[in-house]
Structure 1
Amino acid sequence: MSNIQLIIEERAADIGKFLVGRLLPFRQKRMIGPFIYLDHMGPVKLNAREQMDIRPHPHIGLSTLTFLFEGSIMHRDSLGNAVEIQPGAVNWMTAGKGIVHSERTPDYLRDSEKIMHGLQIWVALPKDLEQMEPEFFHIEAQQLPTWEEGELQFKLVAGEVMGHRSAVPVYSPLYMLEIKSKQKQTVDLEGKLFGESGLYILGGGIESEGNQFGPKQILVAKDTSLCAFTIEANSTIYIFGGEAFPEERFIDWNFVASDKELIRKAKENWEAQAFAKVPGDEEEFVPYPTFPKK
């Protein structure tokens, strides 16, 4: 019997000047553990006239995780943080009761060609922490645990698993694990994972129970205790998941909450421009989007 419950294909989503590959949420699987949103951004080549300019926008009820493979992003937020995100580092921003941030091409790169490529992820907060004070942490690449098992290379981007713990300060039991292999071999994670688990193929491929799977797919496991597969040569995959929450989570624009009333209040506060401003990036206001009625 197959251990693959669901195969999610990457779908194109327009975020202004960028097309990203949206993976979560999916109509048949809204969350994987506490992970509620996953976008694969790029790779996209920008010329000297093209920039990444995601204007200040709000969040509640979640933590955002930005992880770049190529390129650079200047992060600014309403707590006063101004940090350049470079490949391999992790930006971990916890919105809690409310935060505003912008993501832009750094000034020194705006007159040159550049490539943008990375993952942008939302992790829902436990119900009792949805209204916590906002926080921001930047974890450099060298702070992330890395190890080898045979010919497999592991990196723990966030969470705790397999006896390792990332420096990213998460708020519920979860994991985001990078696995790389230069040669075809078996990956046996039986008994090493917990909760719900998804496997995202960034490059290369895997084989499971006679089936081949390639890039831009998420495979959702039925049973994480039975997670074993063959990884193809020169592949990079990400396994992510953790303990699911007992309550449903609602998403409306950039807001996540277990209570729709929290989302309604956040929407009112944003339209009234009652959220804190982003120092150094106060000029632009993104209106709450109007969605077409179905």
Structure 2
Amino acid sequence: MSNPTKSVAFECDIAQHCGAIELIIKPIEKDLGGFSVRRVLPNKEREMVGPWIFFDHMGPAHFPPGDGINVRPHPHINLATVTYLFEGEILHRDSLGSVQPIRPGDINLMVAGRGIVHSERERPEATRRDRILHGLQLWLALPETAEESAPAFFHYPSETIPATHINGVPVRVIMGCAFGLNSPVKLSSDTLYVEAHLQPGQSLTLPFAKERAIYVAQGSLKARDTYIPERCMAVLTPEHGVEVIAQEESRIALIGGEPLGPRHMVWNFVSSRTERVEQAKEDWKAGRFPVVPGDEKEFIPFPD
């Protein structure tokens, strides 16, 4: 979805910790018109975790018939977006001509490369009923060698995402390699994204990555003596064998990977080069980006 802010100077509550946890981030809640989004990354203390530069928790939001998601076409450069839903459905369209509903458990990976435009709306048949939207939207910075690659879109149905049970805990390896499983989702750099659903008292030893963070979408955890509350992200220290224990029924997402170096973000544009961001701004204002077939009439203007 579109990033409604222009800089990375977000105000977040940060708690410093020791041991397995470097810090805990409490996201800012933002109203995007009828539903809430909790913005976790970037923030003033931590801009990235590995290659991950943006992390939003959407909902859960209830929509009556007739209302719903209506994000007009907007651009991206030099990044990849990842959309993952727990509940609900979103209709993705982009300037490559892709038209793809995303449903719970699926992965939509959109590689912006040198530039792409997309919208996020709903199918007419979906808007005729009561429904709930609940999910995560993340952005990956691309390695410098891939920033200006050709834009691309990949859809991975839920059944193609590898899953297993670790000591009774259901786990899905959404991106990267963990627990002996390899995700089919295309990677541009060393990347990790794992989902798990723990019952009270269950534990999980987290896979290692050079940088890692765990987000509690539902429930609460303990890592050693540190409590990780619901709807917060704990950035982990680079230790092997970190174990979390569910204090209640908990749904968690682990993200991480190899750091890529500093990135510049303005609105929906992310790049290793400030001049590239400035060029993208001017290109969008001048109408030089491609349009979205079937969704050409509207767009989100660059914010003043």
Range class of TM-score, shorter chain = over 0.9
Q: Under a length normalisation based on structure 2, what TM-score does the superposition of the two structures give?
A: 0.91
Quick one: which of 104, 123, 127 aligns to 2:144?
Answer: 127
1:134-174 deviations in whole A, cap 9, x for unaligned? 00000000000101122111101112233321111011101
Alignment partner of 1:200 out of 206, 210, 215: 215
Partner amino acid for 2:101?
E
Instruction: Give the residue type in structure 2 aligned to 1:11.
Output: I
User: What aligned pairs does 1:51-90 form with structure 2 within 5 A after superposition?
Assistant: 51-90=68-107
Unmatched tracts of structure 2, length 5 or more: 1-17
Secondary structure at the aligned position of 1:269 is classed as helix
Counterpart-to-counterpart distance in 1, 2:104 and 2:225: 34
Deviation at 1:112, TM superposition (A): 2.2
- What's the secondary structure of 2:186's corresponding residue? coil
Query: Per-residue displacement from partner, 1:116-136 (whole Å, max 9, x unpaired)?
Result: 111000010001110000000
Match of 1:225 in 2: 240
Deviation at 1:188, TM superposition (A): 2.2
Give the structure 2 partner of residue 167 of structure 1: 184
Q: Indicate the SS of the match to 1:133.
A: coil
CA shift at 1:78, angstroms? Answer: 0.2
Cα distance, 1:235 vs structure 2? 1.5
Q: CA deviation at 1:217?
A: 0.5
1:3 and 1:226 in contact (8 A); partners too: no
Aligned match for 1:240, one of 255, 260, 267: 255
The alignment partner of 2:125 has SS state of helix
Q: Kindly indicate whether residue 263 of structure 2 is the aligned counterpart of residue 256 of structure 1.
A: no
For residue 280 of structure 1, what is the amino acid of its counterpart? G
After superposition, the CA RMSD in angstroms is 1.3
- Per-residue deviation at 1:3? 1.6
Query: Matched residues in 2 for 1:17 and 1:272: separation?
Result: 31
Displacement after TM superposition at 1:233 (Å): 4.1
| 1:37-116 matches, cutoff 5 A | 37-116=54-133
Q: State the shift of 1:85 in Å.
A: 0.6
What is the alpha-carbon distance in structure 2 between the residues aligned to residue 16 and residue 288 of structure 1?
A: 18
CA distances 1:169-221 after superposition (whole Å, capped 9, x unpaired): 011101111112224133223xx412100010111211123332221010001
Displacement over 4 Å in runs of 4+: none
CA distance in structure 2 between the aligned counterparts of 1:12 and 1:89, rounded to whole angstroms? 25
Deviation at 1:14, TM superposition (A): 3.2
* Pair 1:142 & 2:140 matched: no
In the other structure, the counterpart of 2:13 is none
CA distance in 2, matches of 1:161, 1:211: 24
Q: CA–CA distance in 2 between the matches of 1:224 and 1:48?
A: 48
Q: Tell me the distance in 2 between the aligned counterparts of 1:36 and 1:90.
A: 18
Question: Percent of pairs identical after alignment?
Answer: 38
Report Cα offsets for 1:4-23 as digits up to 9, x if no partner: 11100121123344320111
> Does the 8 Å CA contact 1:197/1:224 hold for their aligned counterparts?
no
- 1:150 aligned partner, one-letter code: N
Return the offset for 1:87: 0.7
SS, match of residue 267 in structure 1 = helix
Question: 2-side partners of 1:122 and 1:88: how far apart?
Answer: 18
Give the Cα–Cα distance (whole angstroms) in 2 for the partners of residues 14 and 100 of structure 1: 23
State which drifts further: 216-225 or 128-137: 216-225
Structure 1 residue 226, shift from structure 2 partner: 4.4
Alpha-carbon distance in structure 1 between the residues aligned to 2:222 and 2:188 = 33
Whether the 8 Å contact between 2:223 and 2:242 is mirrored in structure 1 is no
Tell me, which stretches of 5 or more residues in structure 1 are unaligned? none
| 2:300 equivalent among 282, 286, 289 | 286
Query: What is the rounded CA distance, in whole Å, between the counterparts of 2:121 and 2:299 in structure 1?
Result: 15
8 Å contact from structure 2 (residues 199, 246) kept in 1: no
Structure-2 separation of matches of 1:186 and 1:73: 33
CA drift at 1:230:
1.6
Q: Which residue of 2 aligns with 1:186?
A: 203
CA distance in 1: counterparts of 2:169 and 2:150, whole angstroms: 39
Task: Give the conservation status (yes or no) of the 8 Å contact 1:13–1:19.
Answer: yes
CA pair 224-141 structure 1, distance change in 2 beyond 3 A: farther
Letter in 1 for 2:272: S
